[in-house]
Structure 1
Amino acid sequence: MVRKAIIPAAGYGIRSLPITKVIPKEMFPVGLKPVIHYIVEEAFSSGIEQILIITSKSRDLIMDYFDSSIELEAFLKSKNKEHLIKKLEIPKVEILYKRQAVANGLGDAIRLGKEFVGNEPFAVLLPDDIVIPEPVPALKELIEVHKETKGSVIGLKQIKQDCLKDYGVIQGWPKERFIEIQDIVEKPETNAPSDLAVIGRYIFTPKLFTYLELTNEGVGGELQLTDAIKSLLANESVFGKIISGDRYDIGKLKEYVELVNRLIKTD
């Protein structure tokens, strides 16, 4: 059973400057809710009971958003607008926080969740990626594969060749419902091993932390999750699942606008 999830939300969001100088990309509005609200909803809908959000000193807006606002609720009641209080509701999941002192890569952020995870399998959801579920949440699809294989599972999506350089790309053997991963390459400039890119949804066994702690700085001088996954692959089976929903990378302006327009049309 996968009960816990880590959401890394401590990066500078440099792809979306200058707005991310003051507003975390996780708080970008999609309709009337921020991106991270959709991520928490997906986790909750997939059966997650506890979430650890990795933040930084400039991410207090995230904590404020998920906190209760007694003053606002009192104001709405005083103005006979109690019906608006329902708009303040968030998914009923326990949310904890831990600060990453220095932005040193995704692998370093996840490593901070070791005590939170303990000896359980756990999920990781990256708020850069929003997946419109079809027919079930992307994370739940991965959890189903984990139930069958008992191994780590990585969310995948087919990506155009000229975009593969922006993502981790896997090489693997297709099975009936998933892929057995043989190798993974971080942001290949040329000769990508396939057109299957890693998206921001993962299920990991707790053994991942062993390899995160042994991993040296990689691409960009940061602790890369991909490097730890490569070490994990050498010691246990890791599987991939091509998600069925539509995925949007909010760090890319065109995809962010497409997502906003899609949700406005369906609202």
Structure 2
Amino acid sequence: MTSPSKQVVLRHFDEYSLAELLRARGKDEQAAKVQRAAEIIHPVAVIQDEPLGLEHAVGLAEAALDADEDYFAVILPDDVIEPTVAMSEMIRVRQEHGGSVLLAVEMEPSQVSNYGVFDVEATEADRVKKVVGMVEKTAVEDAQSNLVDTGRCLLDRATFGAPRRITAGKGGELQLSDAIALLISETPVYVVVHVGIRHALGNPAGFIPASVEFGLRHPKYGPALFADLETLLEKYRGEVGESHRSS
């Protein structure tokens, strides 16, 4: 799913001359990464002409599915989830229980008001819960749990009927959380509680720490970055540290 102005995103997966150009310049490692992108995924573009919400965008994707595909994944790129086996676990839960499966993370109770919060019931598996309700950005004191949504969903095809049955919210947008709330009353919905890393990249407060962590883990750039960070921490310890304590 993309907008009319972001066709360049799809070019990342094209088998075009960039790989050959990189090899000609002796950049074999970068060329292999470009070539790999074209081998692991074959994208089909679905254009959302107007920003009418995530559920509207999901609904447009129905035309890209084959008739025998009864569920599909929604993966939002501004949520980075590790380990990457999370989606495989969600598929297993779908195969065992049916319905739709979402990925949840445990959040500090004081932070849940920034996310969609799940109301859940226990199942036989510790990390699998049945969803009985979902509230978007509820007040902390009203939250039914500390399990919040992430940008990973495995949705039953029934989701495609939701845009015709939910009310548009602020800005005329149709929200996926409203569609899921509708599904909960009609079909089974489960969450898998994620054990691992989740970086939310939708704002600088999430993007910057994620960049630092990935940089530190890089075998080539990590040691130098670590040394730079130590220097910067010492440089700003008094100024930033004092500001943090006073806030």
Structure-2-length-normalised TM-score: 0.79
1:62 correspondence with 2:9:
yes
Shift of 1:237: 1.2
Separation (CA, whole Å) in 2 of partners of 1:77 and 1:55: 30
Aligned length in residues: 211
1:187-228, CA deviations, whole angstroms, 9 ceiling, x for partnerless residues? 213512211101111111111111233222025531011111
Highest relative contact order (Cα 8 Å, sep 6+), 1 or 2? 1
Aligned position for 1:138: 86
Aligned position for 1:16: none
1:241 correspondence with 2:180:
no
Aligned position for 1:147: 95
Larger radius of gyration: 2
Q: Decide whether the 8 Å contact of 1:132 with 1:245 is kept in 2.
A: yes
1:255 correspondence with 2:206:
yes
Shift of 1:172: 1.0
Structure 1 or 2: more helix by fraction: 2
Aligned position for 1:85: 31
1:205 correspondence with 2:156:
yes
Shift of 1:82: 4.7
Structure 1 or 2: more strand by fraction: 1
Q: Decide whether the 8 Å contact of 2:44 with 2:64 is kept in 1.
A: no
Separation (CA, whole Å) in 1 of partners of 2:181 and 2:26: 57
Identical pairs, percent:
27
Residues 81 and 218 of structure 1: CA distance in aligned 2, closer, same or farther (over 3 Å): closer
Residues 77 and 179 of structure 1: CA distance in aligned 2, closer, same or farther (over 3 Å): closer
1:90-141, CA deviations, whole angstroms, 9 ceiling, x for partnerless residues? 15222111110110111101010112234421111111100120xx522112
Q: Give the SS at the match of 1:102.
A: coil
Gaps (5+ residues) in structure 2? Answer: 219-247
Shift of 1:84: 4.2
Aligned position for 1:73: 19
Q: Decide whether the 8 Å contact of 1:141 with 1:243 is kept in 2.
A: no
The code of the aligned residue for 1:100 comes to Q
Structure-1-length-normalised TM-score: 0.73
Residues 235 and 92 of structure 1: CA distance in aligned 2, closer, same or farther (over 3 Å): same
Aligned position for 1:31: none
Aligned position for 1:159: 107
Shift of 1:61: 2.6
1:47-85, CA deviations, whole angstroms, 9 ceiling, x for partnerless residues? xxxxxxx11122123112222231x33434444555542
Separation (CA, whole Å) in 1 of partners of 2:40 and 2:91: 20
Q: Which moved more, 1:179-188 or 1:209-218?
A: 209-218
1:166-185 mapped onto 2 (5 Å cutoff)? 166-177=114-125, 178-185=128-135
